[in-house]
Chains A and B, each alone.
Chain A
Amino acid sequence: MVGSALFFVFAGLAIACAVSMVYHRNPLYSAISLVGVFISLSCIYVTLAAPFIAAVQILIYAGAIMVLVVFVIMLLNLDDDKPLNRLRYLYAVGGGLGLILLVQTFFIFYAVMRAPQQAVNGAETVGKTMNIGRGMYTEYLLPVEIVGVLLLMAIIGGVVLARRLAQPQLELVVDQELDERGLEEEKGDYRVAI
């Protein structure tokens, strides 16, 4: 009873926040709504006996990724999103896709309803940190290693993207490039290369 009530409260909250995220044109409102989705999902994870995943959800998604997004929004000082300008057919595409996905969702709902699943007894211990750690460093060692390499690549990519060449050096590079292409008249416009 309590489990159901909690599920419906947090599910309603998650859906409301998700809709509000898509609805708002201001990126910061979208970001706040998305944090709401993350927190409600984390509460649902707790009711699903996955405390570790719930805590990591808050720590990584709400505490790190979305803080970065909010930081970027504040740094760029963005205005409201413009309404669709020339790609009006996207409304139809989006609506159609949404309809198909919703129908699919209800199909899945009925398909699973026919074979009702009771939670396996003793499933409460699965989400314990110890079990997750053991699985991570025995059976699933290779995926963990691959994720580690991926994160390293992301770090290097982030550094490369964020690095700005110093201005004199930049002009040298651009001038050399333009010389090679034989585009003498475009010298002095370094905007594209930053």
Chain B
Amino acid sequence: MESLVKTAFPFIVYSIGILLAFQGVLMIVAYTVLAERKVLGWIQGRIGPNRVGPWGVLQPFADLLKFIFKEDLVPDKSTKFVYFLAPLVALTCALLPIVVYPFGPSITTINWREILPFGLGEGITELPMTIARIDVGVLFVLGITSVGVYGIALAGWSSNSKYSLMGGLRSSAQMISYELAMGASVIGVVMLAGTLDLNGIIFAQIHSPFRWFIIPQFIGFFVFLISAFAETNRVPFDLPEAETELVAGFHTEYSALKFALFFMAEYVNMFTVSVMATVLFLGGWYVPGLGQVLEPGSIPYALVSHIAFIGKICAFLFFYIWVRGTLPRFRFDQLMNFGWKFLLPLAIANVIITIVLVYFLNS
């Protein structure tokens, strides 16, 4: 019995952690959709959804129910296997990066040996607020999000519709172009931090003289933010689903729950790039001066840091919605010119400036 519990314990703990993290992220994403409709409404001088529940707060659940009960149409001449695979790829790749998010600082003040039975707490000194701490967190997130483009490209190809195909083509070209600029803008932060681990980058910001890397890496932040808009196919870079030109782009032929998967993937991707921007440039969960008020490692400290982390992410999400309500869409050649001739040289210049900066900081 005791050995069974000991074997099962890590699985149970990880299951609870994964469940909490995914549930939390999906709830935030659901309410991002509502917030987007509300804020867009205010920007355009309307009220927005207000019928389901008080001020429309139950709208996301009503939407979900609607998606589930809609008729699921499959185009006759589509390539069935790929057609079903595409939304799964999109959502899986959007959700996978959650496992490395640093949601908050580790809690070190709980004495696990007293709380847990069967001597399970032996040797446990901290409760990390991350599911997996891996050495190459930044590369992991960049890699997984870049695999996500297959979802869109395959959806466009398998639907057997020219609008979908155009959307998929645009998406893959756009992703390849802006991924370069995004990767180059991250290099500056990685050089300053000296690590690719997301928690390590936050600690490097705490110990650096700048506190937040947005100060020495302002150009990098600018490039990262713009490429993040392109990577998530949001306005003003939403060419893969430009409704005025391509009906609905890559998801023209998708309906019901399969469309809902694409829809969710887009918002989870927004969340992911917001997390990355927060961790890389705004110090993640770190609030300057909080260590003097609360004891680092205690539960209140972790909670306040966690709330600060979510707050920073929500600020980014609001920025996304604000931009969507304000800016028109790029033309495709403008998009390519902007990415290759402006953002990429700027990011490389930033790398060179950062090399000089790091050299003087270390000498």
Chain A residues close to B by CB (< 8 Å):
28-29, 32, 35, 39, 51-52, 54-56, 58-59, 62-64, 67-68, 70-71, 74-75, 128-130
With contact pairs A51-B135, A51-B136 given, residues A75 and B176 touching in the complex (Cβ less than 8 Å): no
| Interface mask (B137-149 → A, CB under 8 Å = 1, otherwise 0) | 0011011101101
Of B42-50, B150-158, B262-270, B288-296, the one contacting chain A is: B150-158
Question: What residues of A have a CB within 8 angstroms of the CB of B85 in the complex?
Answer: 32
Tell yes or no: B82 within 8 A of A by CB.
Answer: yes
- Among B135, B143, B153, B195, the residue within 8 A (CB) of A70 is B153
| A35 CA to B264 CA, complexed, in Å | 24
- Cβ contact within 8 Å between B176 and A129: no
B304 within 8 A of partner (CB): no
The interface residues of chain A lying within 8 Å CB-to-CB of B147 are: 35, 39, 58, 62-63
Complex partner residue of A71 from B144, B146, B169, CB under 8 angstroms: B169
Interchain CB contact (< 8 A) of B195 among A29, A71, A75, A129: A129
What sequence of 0s and 1s flags, for each residue 113-154 of chain B, a beta carbon within 8 Å of any chain A beta carbon?
A: 000000000000000000000111001101110110110011
Asked if A74 and B134 make an inter-chain contact with CB atoms under 8 angstroms apart, the answer reads: no
Across the interface, which residues of B come within 8 angstroms of A129, CB to CB?
Answer: 135-136, 195-196
Task: Check if B143 sits within 8 Å of A55, measured CB to CB.
Answer: yes
Residues of B within 8 A of A52 (CB): 135-136, 139, 196
- Contacting pair B172 A55 (CB below 8 A): no
CB nearest neighbor in B for A72: B172
Cβ of A28 and Cβ of B82 under 8 Å apart?
Answer: yes
Q: What are 11 sample pairs from A and B whose C-beta atoms fall under 8 A apart?
A: A28-B82, A28-B157, A32-B150, A32-B154, A51-B135, A51-B136, A52-B136, A55-B139, A62-B147, A67-B149, A129-B135
Interface hits, B196-241 → A, CB 8 Å: 196
Q: A35, A64, A128: which contacts B179 (Cβ < 8 A)?
A: A64
Q: Which 9 A-B pairs have the closest CB atoms?
A: A63-B146, A58-B143, A55-B139, A59-B143, A55-B136, A71-B172, A51-B136, A51-B135, A55-B140
Cβ of B102 < 8 Å from any Cβ of A? no
Expressed in whole angstroms, the minimum distance between the Cβ of B211 and any Cβ of chain A is 24
Chain A nearest CB from B248 CB (Å) reads 18
- Asked if A75 and B135 make an inter-chain contact with CB atoms under 8 angstroms apart, the answer reads no
Contact B146 A59 (CB under 8 A): yes
CB-CB contacts below 8 Å: B158-198 with A: 165, 168-169, 172-173, 175-176, 179, 195-196
Q: Is the interface of A mostly helix, strand, loop or mixed?
A: helix
Q: CB-CB < 8 A to B135: which residues of A?
A: 51-52, 128-129
Q: Is the CB of B176 within 8 A of A68?
A: yes
Task: Give CA–CA (A88, B318) in the complex, Å.
Answer: 63
Chain B: which residue is nearest A46 at the CB level?
Answer: B134
**Contacts of A70 on B, CB cut-off 8 Å?**
150, 153-154, 157, 172
Does A51 contact B134, Cβ atoms closer than 8 Å? yes
Q: Are A74's CB and B136's CB within 8 A? A: no
* Chain B residue at minimum C-beta to C-beta distance from A39: B147
Contacts of A54 in B (CB 8 A): 136
Q: Are A75 and B169 in contact (CB under 8 A)?
A: yes
Residues of B within 8 A of A32 (CB): 82, 85, 150, 154
Chain B residues within 8 Å of A51, by CB: 134-136
CA distance A6 to B226 in the complex (A): 39
Contact B139 A64 (CB under 8 A): no
Residue of B nearest to A53 (CB): B136
Q: Using CB atoms, name the residue of chain A closest to B140.
A: A55
Shortest B308–chain A CB gap in Å is: 28
Partner of A74, one of B139, B157, B179: B157
Return chain B residues, CB-CB under 8 Å to A59: 139, 142-143, 146
Complex Cα distance, B86 from A35, in Å, reads 14
A67 to B168: give the CA distance in the assembly, Å: 11
Identify the closest chain B residue to A63 (Cβ).
B146
Bound Cα distance A59, B186 (Å): 14
Whether the Cβ atoms of A63 and B143 lie closer than 8 Å is: yes
Q: In the complex, which of the residues A51, A52, A74 has the most CB atoms of chain B within 10 Å of its own CB atom? A: A74
Chain A residues with CB under 8 Å of B136's CB are 51-52, 54-55, 129
